[in-house]
Every structure is written in structure tokens, then in C-alpha cells.
Structure 1
Amino acid sequence: MAGFAVSEEKNRWLQREMARLNVREEDLEEQFVRSSGSGGQHVNKTSSSVFLRHIPSGICVSASRERSQSVNRFLARRELLERIEAQTGAETGEMRRIARLRKQKNRRRRRAEKKDA
């Protein structure tokens, strides 16, 4: 796998995660399409948006947040890995963050109820 226009640390992390989840580059179908939104003439002229499909699971993701195609390729792979991990039932970092916020809100609600009573 070629490195993307992100730090070496992020490239190594992506390789480790792909190996951990048994996702191979050969299992990915990648398409480049024209982006929309902000970015002006640059996004109108180049195909910087990335559409990525994991063939074995059928999961599809699209990334067009950045103007750089290379960065969008990295972001698409990262999101694909998160979705694969969520599908396998493993708890992702985002799921842990949401659970922590839910606990905090419950504590605040209980305190407010005690205060009103």
C-alpha cells in the first residue's frame, strides 16, 4: 500500500488496523469522482472525491472533505475500517465516546431531579 499525504504515523496506524481487521487492498474497489461544495474551481476540475467499497462485506464509504485526493483516500479507508469494526460488534472509539456522554447526561439529569424534589 502506498503512503498517503498524511503523517508516517497515521500511515503506519492505517496499515496496522487493516492487518488487524484482515482488510486487504485487493478487497477494496476505489473510484474517484468530482467533488462538490467549497473548494472553488479546484474541485470542479479534479476528481478528488473518493468512493470506496469493501467487496467481501459490501460496505461503501465516500470521502470528499478535503481538496486533496490522497488525504480523501486515507479518510475513506479510516471510515471504512470504523464501519467494519462496528459491524463485527467490537466497540469503536466513537461508540465509547457516545456511551461516556450518555452517562454524563444521565448523572446531570439525576442531579437536577434531586434538586427539584
Structure 2
Amino acid sequence: MDDLVIAPGPGLPRGLVIPADLLRERFSHASGPGGQGVNTADSRVQLAFDLADLATLGVEEARLDRALDRLAGRLTGTVLTVEAAEFRSQHRNRRAARDRLAGLLRTALAPPPPSRRPTRPTGASRRRRLEAKHRRAEVKQGRARPTPES
């Protein structure tokens, strides 16, 4: 099994390499259709990684806390587990599980988006809005029945 390489991106300017000995893989029978091979091949892959090990890989504590907070619903303690069983081949499922784990870690370690700065509508946009309302009111007024006085 190879090391898991996470490409550089937001929150990981130099990327991240997770050594293979920190990843735990388990294999089991995948459910669903697949013919005779489904009962004999252990093609489903469960890939587990303990987020506490991120500190030993040089990830600062603020990012680690952010990742733990964002992934809280998916964690068992501090262990993140992903499954892949969509392919018949164990090799392809291993690749899919690794890609899924890398994507989850990349998004969990990314910095939060910048906060929205409230803006005010420009004078021209307010004028256009009022003119459109006035035109619409005239259209609707033109549809009204004439009154008996006119």
C-alpha cells in the first residue's frame, strides 16, 4: 500500500503526505449484484485514518481543531472511516476510498470562506427598480375596467 498524497490547495499550500502505516484498510464482501464473484471476493474497502495523527504530520492545532469540528458527524472518536464498494475490483475500490478520504481531508482543513461584507444598492439600481415598479403599475392600471365617471 502506498502513501496517501493530498494535492496542494486551500489550507494545504504544500499539500500533505500521509504515510501508509497510518492508514488502516479492511476488506469485506460487497453487497448487491455481481454474480458469483460477490460471494468470494472481498472487494469492499473500509479505509480508516486517525485525525489525531495529523499533529505528527505538521498540521497546526488550529487546522486540526477545524477538521475535527467539520467532520464531527463522521468520526468515531478521532477516527475517520470511508467506504468504497461501487466497483467489482478491490483495486478500484481502494483507489476510490483513498480519493474520497483525500477529498474529505482537503475540505476539512481548508480555511473558512471570507465573511460577507454587507453592501448597499447603488443610486442607479434603486432608480431602475422604482422605474420598473412604476411601469408595471401603469400596465396593471391599463387593464382595469373603466369607471362610470369617465
Q: How would you bin the TM-score normalised by the shorter chain?
A: 0.5 to 0.7
Task: Indicate the structure with greater helix content.
Answer: 1
Give the superposed CA RMSD: 2.7
The residue that corresponds to 2:86 in the other structure is 65
Residue among 22, 28, 31 paired with 1:27: 22
Cα distance in 2 between the residues matched to 1:76 and 1:35: 14
Alignment of 1:1-117 (within 5 A): 1=1, 15=5, 17=7, 20-57=15-52, 58-89=79-110
Q: Identity of aligned pairs, percent?
A: 32
Cα distance in 2 between the residues matched to 1:26 and 1:17: 19
Number of aligned positions between the proteins: 82
Q: Conserved in 2, the CA contact under 8 Å of 1:27 and 1:56?
A: no
Cα distance in 2 between the residues matched to 1:20 and 1:85: 9
Amino acid at match of 2:7: E
Judged with a 3 Å threshold, the aligned counterparts in structure 2 of structure 1 residues 41 and 29 are, in CA distance, closer, same or farther, namely: same
| CA positional deviation for 1:16 | 6.0
TM-score for both structures, normalised by structure 2: 0.47
Amino acid at match of 1:74: R
TM-score for both structures, normalised by structure 1: 0.59
Deviations 1:2-32 (A, max 9, x none): 5xxxxxxxxxxx6463982232211101000
Q: Conserved in 1, the CA contact under 8 Å of 2:5 and 2:18?
A: no
Cα distance in 2 between the residues matched to 1:90 and 1:45: 44
